[in-house]
Amino acid sequence: MYQESVDALILLNKLGYGKPDTGLQLNLVFNPVGYGLPPQQESLEHDYKKELAKRFGIVFNRLFTITNMPIKRFEHALIRDGELDIYMGKLMSAHYGENVESVMCKSLVSIGWQGSVYDCDFNQMLLMPLEGKTESRDEHEVEFRGRKLWDWVPADLVGREIQTGRHCFGCTAGAGSSCTGSL
Ligand code: SF4
């Protein structure tokens, strides 16, 4: 898998991705292995740029660090290993209030396969739409409830309450986390 990833990056570089003056972006994403928070994004990006260039001649634009969210498969692993409370404690004690201003749900939405609207892709995975909330865990049932993308106008979204849960501490802990890395 490691070698395949390296080969893919070399191929993308050959096509111009990540190279200066091509306008083709190549961004990498770093998820921590294990149950810790990501390291500082800028210094990790610096290290990756140095090492990938030295070892393989690979160049790229940005490296985004993303916190592992305590949902779905990762949550199951935490429960299996008896680490869920410890991990949640880490996220909550690293909560940084200023990150709340820039979490991605304040400026983006996520759209389901049938047009349901969610505050973010994590809420989408948790089947927590803006409307049509239900206890059902059936994705098909959730997708058929509530207004769809084409039923909303942008003004409806302004000032409305965001659907939150304990997983949101994954976005606000430490340096913060979003689809473009730290906040
Ligand atoms: S997980 Fe919570 S804080 Fe993060 S983007 Fe989604 S709704 Fe916002």
Residue-wise pLDDT tens digits, 11-33: 999 999 999 999 999 999 999 98
Residue 139 DSSP one-character state:
H
Nearest to 85 by CA among 94, 95, 75: 75
Same domain flag for 100 and 150: yes
CA of 171, closest atom in ligand 1: 4
> Residues 9, 41: one domain?
yes
Ligand 1 centroid distance, CA of 166 (Å): 9
63 lines ligand 1 (CB under 6 A): no
> N- to C-terminal Cα distance for the chain?
29
Q: Which comes out higher in pLDDT, residue 94 or 180?
A: 94
179 within some domain: no
What pLDDT does 28 receive?
97
pLDDT at 103: 97
Closest by alpha carbon to 37, among 171, 179, 134, 180? 171
How many CB atoms are closer than 10 A to CB 164? 14
Domain boundary among 65, 84, 118: 65
**35 shares a domain with 50:** yes
CA distance 159 to 170: 23
Looking at residue 134, its pLDDT comes to 79
Quick check: CB of 168 below 6 Å from ligand 1?
Answer: yes
Domain span holding position 30: 2-65
**How far away, in angstroms, is 168 Cα from ligand 1 center?**
5
Same domain as 53, residue 76: no
Measured in Å, residue 30 CA sits from the centre of ligand 1 at 19
Q: Report percent pLDDT > 70 for the chain.
A: 100
Q: Cα of 167 to ligand 1 centre, how many Å?
A: 7
pLDDT in tens, 100-142: 999 999 999 999 988 999 999 999 999 999 988 878 888 888 8
At residue 7, the pLDDT reads 98
pLDDT at 155 over 90: yes
| C-beta of 110 in contact with ligand 1 (< 6 A) | no
Half-sphere exposure of 110 (CA within 13 A, CB side): 19
Instruction: Determine if ligand 1 sits within 6 Å of the CB of residue 171.
Output: yes
Alpha carbon distances (Å) from 130 to 68, 123, 143: 23, 9, 11
Q: How confident is the model at residue 8 (pLDDT cuts 50, 70, 90)?
A: very high
167 Cβ contact partners less than 8 Å away, ≥ 6 residues apart: 69, 70, 71, 122, 126
